[in-house]
Amino acid sequence: MQYSEKVMDHFMNPRNVGEIEDASGVGTVGNAKCGDIMKVYLKIEDNIVRDAKFKTFGCGAAVATSSMATELIIGKTIEEALKITNKSVMEALDGLPPVKVHCSCLAEEALQSALWDYAKKNNITIEGLEAPKDSDHHHHIENEE
């Protein structure tokens, strides 16, 4: 499997690892199938994301996409932050192998989930922000007994 240098760099040297005490918003998402769990913390002041940290339990691509997602969101307004999609995360990392694309989707969901948490805590409506779906929404677990 071929990873770009940027993916490797963010995996070996992830940015913004940790947690933010008194975070403005926290989002946790998980993928039952591959066992990746991402937790994103955001510090938001005056509509600007001042800081972002993450904790990810998962594969290298999950770590790399979380790292890049937090890099992309810091310094952005909430409106700009909403525009960060799995596509923008992947482009910033110079692409991901097809089997790892779901990791970038998870990173996008974690950011959205943290923004949703922030909106809820502050009783505000953020234009274009949807309620997080059930964290296992795209993973059907079949009973094979």
Domains, the chain: 5-121 (3.90.1010.10)
CB count, 10 Å around CB of 25? Answer: 24
Q: Where are the beta strands (DSSP E) in 32-95?
A: 36-45, 48-57
Query: What tokens appear for 81 in the block?
Result: 């932050």
pTM: 0.88
Task: Find, among 92, 114, 89, 99, the residue nearest to 36 by Cα.
Answer: 99
List 6, 28, 34, 55, catalytic entry: 34
State yes or no: is 103 an active-site residue: yes
Cα–Cα dist 17/13, whole Å: 10
Give yes or no: 34 in active site.
yes
Catalytic residue among 103, 105, 106, 110: 103
pLDDT at 81 exceeding the cut of 90: yes
Structure confidence by residue, pLDDT tens digits, 96-139: 999 999 999 999 999 999 999 999 999 999 888 888 765 444 43
